[in-house]
């Protein structure tokens, strides 16, 4: 009989849903037919108003009100967010235990920082302890609410989050440092570059910079694209790929631009692994998923910004490991790319090699195998 796995996520940022889908794909590929896996958006679909409005507030909080975000995230104010989460969890616990009764999972996977407290309250109320693991989808800085001492396993992607799990009271045999759960497509070696570039309509011989603004196409991507067009046009080497995400207006404006270099302007792409494998460096905000994917593909990274709180530590992670730079100013980003494609090509290859050595292409499968081990141990 199929065993049931319930994945708890919420759409606060693209990463949680993407991680949930990556894990589901990993189970389906490695254990075909063995598990029935459901993904639920706990906050939107199960919580009462106004708690269910939280995902809508996320873009506002992280982009427009960073001071408030910092307050919820700041080291000195963790007590505040813990109190808020406990109040919210008490309001939500009835609905969550109903969800657990309804889905009747053999194992629960959480990919969201706000799920732990309410889930353990719900299980206490139900007087039923369902095997429960947390997969942390932040890379280096993470909110302490991710780490609950009673989980059967926690999966982390950096020394920093490992230390946070230890600090929360988890013993070493329940903490697993395996990398972020990235879509299984990144675990496959890419097609040869000439073939990829031909299929993607790119120029064959020019080095390529990939600009992405996260799933929603936020950030100063447009200005960076214009500056790269000018700088690479003047230096005589380079091509550009822009991924605008769901930002249609920006996509249209960039498509209409008078390009001095070969340019591929995309909306939301679902073959990111191909675009990354076909390019030579990437400019992005400090999103954990994008950084982990870029490392797997050996792409040196220019970080153009970060969300205060959970993305903050990703900046030193990239810079201190020698796989890229943090530059906010679009003209300076463009000048750096032009140097990397010109006099600093050797430095670019060095960063590329270091990036590849830091990547975890098999992370999703390693996490999935370990979770199956937890389930087998619990049901033996
Ligand atoms: N992404 C994608 N297609 C796009 C734009 C983004 O597949 O057109 C993916 C990207 O590869 C990454 C995720 O969206 O896996 C973004 O996650 P990240 O953690 O970098 O940032 P978030 O949007 O969650 O803040």
Query: 282 with 210: CB under 8 angstroms?
Result: yes
Q: Which of 277, 283, 290 to mutate to test the pocket of ligand 1 (most atoms within 8 A of CB)?
A: 290
- In angstroms, the Cα distances linking 266 to 11, 253, 258, 322 are 23, 12, 16, 29
Q: What is the pTM of this model?
A: 0.90
pLDDT (tens place) for every residue of the chain, 380 residues total: 899 999 999 887 657 888 999 999 999 999 999 999 999 998 888 877 777 776 666 665 555 556 655 656 655 556 666 776 776 777 788 889 999 999 999 999 999 998 999 999 999 999 999 999 999 999 998 889 999 999 999 999 999 999 999 999 999 999 999 999 999 999 999 999 999 999 999 999 999 999 997 555 556 899 999 999 999 999 988 999 999 988 888 999 999 999 999 999 999 899 999 999 999 999 999 999 999 999 999 999 999 998 887 888 999 999 999 999 999 999 999 999 999 999 999 999 999 999 999 999 999 999 999 999 999 999 88
Q: Which domains does the chain have, with CATH numbers?
A: 3-180+362-379 (3.40.50.2000), 188-358 (3.40.50.2000)
- Residues 289-339 have pLDDT tens digits of 999 999 999 999 999 998 887 888 999 999 999 999 999 999 999 999 999
pLDDT of residue 79: 67
Question: How many Cα atoms are found within 13 Å in the side-chain-facing hemisphere of 177?
Answer: 13
DSSP character at residue 107:
E
- Using DSSP bridges, classify how beta strands 175-177 and 3-9 pair: parallel, antiparallel or unpaired: unpaired
Enclosing H/E stretch for 159: helix 159-167
pLDDT of residue 43: 83
φ/ψ (deg, to 5) at 76: -75, -20
- In angstroms, the Cα distances linking 310 to 74, 136, 314 are 10, 11, 8
- Residues 48-57 have pLDDT tens digits of 777 777 666 6
pLDDT of residue 282: 98
Distance separating alpha carbons of residues 140 and 264, to the nearest angstrom: 32
- In angstroms, the Cα distances linking 200 to 124, 147, 264, 266, 336 are 52, 41, 9, 11, 25
Distance separating alpha carbons of residues 326 and 321, to the nearest angstrom: 12
Q: Which region holds residue 236: left if phi is over 0, alpha if psi is between -120 and 50, else beta?
A: left
φ/ψ (deg, to 5) at 79: -60, -40
Radius of gyration over every alpha carbon of the chain, rounded to an integer in angstroms:
21
State in Å: Cα 290 to ligand 1 middle.
6
- Using DSSP bridges, classify how beta strands 263-266 and 35-41 pair: parallel, antiparallel or unpaired: unpaired
Task: With H, G, I as helix, E, B as strand and everything else as coil, classify residue 297.
Answer: coil
Question: Can the peptide bond before residue 208 be classed as cis, meaning omega within 30 degrees of 0?
Answer: no
Indicate which residue's Cα is closest to atom 14 of ligand 1. 215
Strand partners, 155: 135, 176
State in Å: Cα 93 to ligand 1 middle.
31
Strand partners, 133: 109, 153
State in Å: Cα 292 to ligand 1 middle.
11
Which atom number of ligand 1 is nearest to the Cα of residue 311?
A: 25
Task: With H, G, I as helix, E, B as strand and everything else as coil, classify residue 284.
Answer: strand
pLDDT of residue 242: 97
Taken in order 215, 242, 328, 65, is the CA torsion positive or negative? negative
State in Å: Cα 49 to ligand 1 middle.
28
Query: 246 with 267: CB under 8 angstroms?
Result: yes
Distance separating alpha carbons of residues 338 and 238, to the nearest angstrom: 8
Query: 43 with 51: CB under 8 angstroms?
Result: yes
Distance separating alpha carbons of residues 156 and 146, to the nearest angstrom: 10
Q: Which of 214, 274, 361 to mutate to test the pocket of ligand 1 (most atoms within 8 A of CB)?
A: 214
pLDDT of residue 178: 98
- For the chain, the average pLDDT equals 90
Distance separating alpha carbons of residues 38 and 20, to the nearest angstrom: 9
Which atom number of ligand 1 is nearest to the Cα of residue 217?
A: 5
Ligand 1 site residues (CB inside 6 A) read: 13-15, 18, 212, 214-215, 243, 245, 268-270, 272, 287-290, 293
Query: 203 with 194: CB under 8 angstroms?
Result: no
Distance separating alpha carbons of residues 158 and 179, to the nearest angstrom: 7
Which atom number of ligand 1 is nearest to the Cα of residue 268?
A: 8
| DSSP secondary structure string for all residues of 103-129 | H--SEEEE-STTHHHHHHHHHHHHT--
Distance separating alpha carbons of residues 308 and 294, to the nearest angstrom: 21
């Amino acid at each position: 009989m199929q065993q049931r796995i319930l994945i708890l996520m919420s759409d606060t940022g693209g990463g949680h849903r993407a991680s949930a889908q990556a894990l589901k794909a990993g189970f389906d590929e490695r254990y075909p037919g063995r598990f029935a896996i459901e993904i639920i958006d706990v906050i939107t679909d199960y919580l009462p108003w106004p708690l269910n409005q939280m995902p809508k507030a996320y873009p506002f909080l992280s982009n427009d009100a960073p001071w408030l975000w910092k307050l919820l995230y700041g080291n000195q104010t963790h007590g505040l967010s813990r109190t808020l989460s406990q109040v919210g969890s008490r309001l939500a616990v009835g609905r969550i235990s109903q969800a657990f009764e309804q889905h009747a999972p053999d194992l629960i996977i959480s990919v969201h920082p706000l799920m732990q407290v309410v889930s353990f309250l719900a299980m206490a109320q139900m007087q039923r302890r369902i095997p429960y693991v947390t997969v942390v989808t932040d890379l280096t800085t993470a909110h302490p609410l991710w780490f609950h001492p009673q989980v059967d396993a926690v999966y982390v992607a950096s020394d920093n989050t490992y230390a946070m799990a230890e600090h929360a009271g988890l013993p070493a045999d329940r903490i697993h440092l395996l990398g972020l759960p990235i879509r299984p497509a990144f675990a496959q070696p890419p097609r040869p570059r000439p073939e990829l570039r031909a299929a993607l309509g790119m120029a064959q011989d020019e080095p390529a910079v990939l600009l992405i603004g996260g799933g929603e196409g936020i950030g100063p991507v447009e200005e960076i694209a214009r500056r790269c067009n000018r700088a690479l046009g003047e230096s005589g080497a380079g091509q550009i790929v822009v991924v605008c995400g769901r930002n249609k207006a920006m996509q249209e404006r960039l498509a209409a631009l008078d390009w001095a270099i070969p340019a591929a302007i995309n909306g939301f792409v679902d073959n990111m692994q191909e675009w990354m494998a076909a390019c030579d460096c990437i400019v992005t905000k400090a999103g954990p998923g994008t950084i982990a994917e870029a490392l797997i593909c050996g792409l040196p990274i220019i970080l153009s910004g970060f969300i205060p709180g959970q993305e903050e530590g990703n900046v030193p992670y990239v810079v201190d490991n020698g796989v890229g730079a943090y530059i906010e100013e679009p003209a300076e980003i463009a000048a750096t790319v032009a140097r990397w494609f010109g006099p600093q090509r050797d430095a670019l290859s060095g960063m590329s090699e270091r990036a590849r050595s830091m990547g975890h292409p098999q992370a999703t499968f390693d996490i999935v195998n370990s979770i199956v081990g937890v389930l087998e141990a619990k049901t033996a």
